[in-house]
């Protein structure tokens, strides 16, 4: 299927590994011009070489730390300087750390900055040029709505869902859609580090209806569709990609 995005420009944050990397590779295969951002420059350079080797356009590489106050300005400027525009913004960068009952304010601030504030600020710097072009896609890779306990990232992702819904109502008339994708158990560096093979096998058998952990490409395929003109009437949504793991009905 031709998704009709070969002439579009896309910024993918957190693109050096896992879900972000798969999104970049998938969109590059559709002919998209990419700007790829992460902290690990060597990983970004490797990704850029792979994309070119497969026939894709040479990406703009942006090394940046999302926690730095100037990050949204630096990232937006680099993307716009390198591509001229950003038609599709993939807010993928983020991170989760478990909290205790009493957690230092610095940890709360870090979690909210990394998983909500920087995404909002980056979007704010790029949305006006989408409005001018009367076309845009904002896709936020978020997280689950069933917290196991106190976790700053879960709270930030809930804020992302609420903000995204409100944002969708503001920009829809300009041809811009805003959607969220909370991943389930998707194979990544963090998953492999935090969960043993035995636990992954048990959860696949007992808790995930499709019977296995997902692959980054399972997220990337939905991102590619939501990025396309075919998804023009889908906005303000939260679409889990989790193999049926989560039990909520919305």
Cα distance between the two ends of the chain? 29
CA–CA dist 55, 239 (Å, integer): 31
Percentage of the residues of the chain whose pLDDT score is greater than 70:
99
Q: What band does 29 get if pLDDT is binned at 50, 70 and 90?
A: very high
Bridge pairing between strands 60-63 and 9-13: unpaired
Q: What band does 151 get if pLDDT is binned at 50, 70 and 90?
A: confident
Q: Which two tokens stand for residue 180?
A: 């969220």
pLDDT confidence of residue 250: 56
Q: How far from the centroid of its chain's Cα atoms is residue 206's Cα?
A: 28
Average predicted confidence (pLDDT) for the chain: 95
- 196 or 1, greater pLDDT: 196
pLDDT confidence of residue 249: 60
CA–CA dist 227, 3 (Å, integer): 8
pLDDT confidence of residue 148: 78
pLDDT confidence of residue 205: 97
Domains of the chain listed by start with CATH number = 9-231 (3.40.50.720)
| Cα atoms found within 13 Å of the Cα of residue 176, Cβ hemisphere only | 27
**Residue 225 to residues 173, 186, 232: CA-CA distances in angstroms?**
20, 19, 10
Contact (CB, 8 A) for 86 and 11: yes
What is the torsional sign of CA 168, 169, 172, 174? negative
Residues 6 or more apart whose Cβ sits within 8 Å of residue 93: 13, 14, 20, 37, 38, 66, 114, 118, 119
**Residue 163 to residues 92, 194, 238: CA-CA distances in angstroms?**
15, 29, 12
Residue given tokens 């798969």 in the structure block: 22
């Amino acid at each position: 299927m031709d998704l009709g995005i070969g002439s579009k420009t896309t910024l993918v944050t957190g693109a050096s590994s896992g879900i972000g990397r798969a999104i970049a590779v998938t969109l590059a295969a559709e002919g998209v011009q990419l700007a790829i951002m992460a902290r690990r420059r060597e990983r970004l350079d490797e990704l850029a070489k792979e994309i070119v080797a497969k026939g894709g356009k040479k990406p703009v590489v942006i090394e940046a730390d999302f926690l730095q106050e100037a990050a949204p300005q630096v990232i937006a400027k680099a993307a716009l300087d390198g591509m001229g525009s950003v038609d599709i913004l993939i807010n993928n960068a983020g991170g989760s750390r478990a909290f205790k009952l009493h957690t230092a304010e610095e940890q709360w601030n870090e979690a909210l900055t990394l998983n909500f504030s920087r995404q909002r600020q980056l979007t704010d710097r790029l949305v006006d040029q989408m409005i001018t072009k009367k076309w845009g896609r904002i896709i936020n890779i978020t997280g689950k709505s069933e917290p196991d306990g106190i976790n700053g990232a879960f709270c930030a992702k809930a804020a992302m869902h609420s903000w995204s819904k409100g944002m969708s109502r503001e920009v829809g008339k300009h041809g811009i859609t805003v959607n969220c994708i909370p991943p389930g158990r998707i194979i990544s560096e963090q998953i492999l580090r935090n969960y043993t093979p035995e636990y992954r096998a048990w959860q696949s058998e007992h808790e995930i209806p499709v019977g296995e952990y997902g692959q980054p490409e399972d997220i990337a395929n939905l991102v590619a569709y939501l990025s396309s003109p075919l998804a023009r009437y889908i906005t303000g949504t939260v679409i889990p990609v989790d193999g049926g793991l989560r039990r909520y009905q919305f």
